[in-house]
Structure 1
């Protein structure tokens, strides 16, 4: 009957020597893991800092020739106007090259339908007097180029869109994207959706 004692009634015993040694090994291993992680975190921080500095240096070095040529153009500002224009064109090309070397491309050859993910409306053009006016919401001119990198739009292109053909007999005409496309009137991202005929 004495064998059915509860845990509370059993006398405490010292841990076996094997368990004490194993505990000591686990504690030492945990300390090494913590030290390794601390070293990893410190090393990663240094590597991230070095990568940021290298990227900054790459961008700066891409733009230094632009500054050099601007200084050269300014030093010849009193010279022949044609040579000044040629110099500015050269600086412009250097700036485009610097953007390209950073993986940035321009959105300046946009034509066709207005796309709110790539465009913002800068103007709505009344093209109703032309023989065959483009449909409402069609991009007719790029006012300011946009830029993208890795397929992500950094700045949308500001565009002029067609107001579309003039309605006849007082009917309403729909201009641009539908309201459910995420474009709202007056938000700068899409042409107004309805206009009254005059």
Structure 2
């Protein structure tokens, strides 16, 4: 290329400004857009912004849910452990109350080997200790002869003729309750007129 061609290609500063001005007038004109189209674009931008806000909110809620779930799982584990601990404590309390009876029965068996006639008094003493241990645990014996039959606490095995209705005349197996909660029903024979 000759130097003259290069000069022709090289524009002056004024010429460049003129060319840029011409391009600006032929390019983007925000005033020329349809107002409905601009409103649609603005609405779309607002919806995109709202979508971003909702995504952030969803992320926050997922985090809160994960923490809540972890807290619940920890609570469930602690509660299960508390139940197991309470059961163990209850069994321990019952065992402590029954240990003296175990010891009395052991002594009664040893005494029976040496003198069988002496056993009756020892067994009566062990039985009395057992009833006292039950009372310490809050157990109340139900189903005694002469007591009024109560289907909430007694199980009638048979009915026999008698002078009064619904009176216990014989006890096959004593029942036990704690307050109004039945632990084991008494198995009894009931009278009917």
What's the TM-score once normalised by structure 1's chain length? 0.61
Distance, in Å, in 2 between the alignment partners of 1:156 and 1:37 is: 39
Counterpart residue number, 1:145 = 174
1:33 aligns to what SS in structure 2?
helix
Deviates more, 1:116-125 or 1:88-97: 116-125
Structure 1 pair 33–67 and aligned structure 2 pair: CA distance change class (3 A): same
Structure 1 pair 118–2 and aligned structure 2 pair: CA distance change class (3 A): same
1:102 maps to 2:131: no
2:66 to 8, 23, 31: 31
Kindly indicate whether the alpha-carbon contact (under 8 Å) linking 2:144 and 2:168 is maintained by their aligned counterparts in 1. no
Distance, in Å, in 2 between the alignment partners of 1:161 and 1:27 is: 65
| Residues 85-164 of structure 1: pairs in structure 2 closer than 5 A | 85-111=120-146, 113-126=148-161, 134-164=163-193
Task: Quote how far apart the aligned CAs of 1:40 are.
Answer: 1.1
Cα deviation code 1:61-86 (max 9, x no counterpart):
22121111111111111344454222
Q: Which has the larger radius of gyration?
A: 2
Q: Which has the higher helix share?
A: 2
Task: Quote how far apart the aligned CAs of 1:44 are.
Answer: 1.3
2:75 to 28, 31, 40: 40
Distance, in Å, in 2 between the alignment partners of 1:140 and 1:126 is: 10
Gaps of 5+ in 1: 128-133, 165-198
Distance, in Å, in 2 between the alignment partners of 1:123 and 1:21 is: 74
Give the number of aligned pairs. Answer: 157
Kindly indicate whether the alpha-carbon contact (under 8 Å) linking 2:143 and 2:168 is maintained by their aligned counterparts in 1. no
Gaps of 5+ in 2: 1-34
Higher RCO, 1 or 2 (CA under 8 Å, sep at least 6)?
Answer: 1
Task: Quote how far apart the aligned CAs of 1:106 are.
Answer: 0.9
What's the TM-score once normalised by structure 2's chain length? 0.62
Counterpart residue number, 1:2 = 36
